Amino acid sequence: MSARMPNPAAVLPEAMPAVLRLVKAVTSGGDVPGSTLHLVHLRTSQINGCGYCVVGGALKAQEEGETDERLHAVAAWREAPYFTEAERAALALAEHATRLADRPDAVPDAVWDEAARHYDEKQLAQIVLWIGVSNLFNRLNATTRQPAGATW
């Protein structure tokens, strides 16, 4: 598979600093564990079919200590015993916030309330922003068919 074009953020280089500032703000702007953010990014990317982000996200998570066992089980997190209740709440929130059009109430109160049971408002902001950033990357990469394992 070859890309339709270079990544749009590389074609419009003035966009890249803003995107990177957003990533930095989200990843350093709260105390949600990095492992949780990696899981959220991976699950969002799986849902969106973004091979670039699935491969890149899994590699980044491994570099930061995530286990193969957990990474392999993210797509089946409900049935896998490897995730904490807080991680499960973040993954459920990621799924609902990514699949907005799948149901009339995109993020039901039960999903939100479970996440809010594990995370305070600042942490929820960090998770919601990270879901949004992940979806942004997924849409850029999937639309332009950026191949898994490629570099910009």
150 found inside a domain: no
Answer whether 39's CB lies under 8 Å from 69's CB: no
User: Does residue 90 sit in helix, strand or coil?
Assistant: helix
Rounded mean pLDDT, 132-146:
96
Measured CA to CA, the distance from residue 5 to residue 109 in angstroms comes to: 40
149 found inside a domain: no
Q: What is the pLDDT of residues 12-59, one digit of tens each?
A: 989 989 999 999 999 998 899 999 999 999 999 999 999 999 999 999
Residue 121 corresponds to which tokens in the numbers above? Answer: 């408002």
Task: Give the CATH number for residue 45.
Answer: 1.20.1290.10
98 found inside a domain: yes
Rounded mean pLDDT, 63-72:
96
Q: What is the pLDDT of residues 20-30, one digit of tens each?
A: 999 999 999 88
Which residue range(s) make up the domain with 88?
33-143
Q: Helix H segments across the chain?
A: 8-11, 15-28, 34-48, 51-63, 68-73, 85-98, 109-118, 121-143
Number of domains in the chain: 1
18 found inside a domain: no
Is the pLDDT at 142 greater than 80? The verdict is: yes
96 found inside a domain: yes
22 found inside a domain: no
Within 13 Å and on the Cβ side, how many CA atoms surround 33? 13
131 found inside a domain: yes
Answer whether 83's CB lies under 8 Å from 39's CB: yes
pTM (predicted TM-score):
0.94
Answer whether 35's CB lies under 8 Å from 86's CB: no
20 found inside a domain: no
Measured CA to CA, the distance from residue 117 to residue 101 in angstroms comes to: 25
At 152 the pLDDT is 53
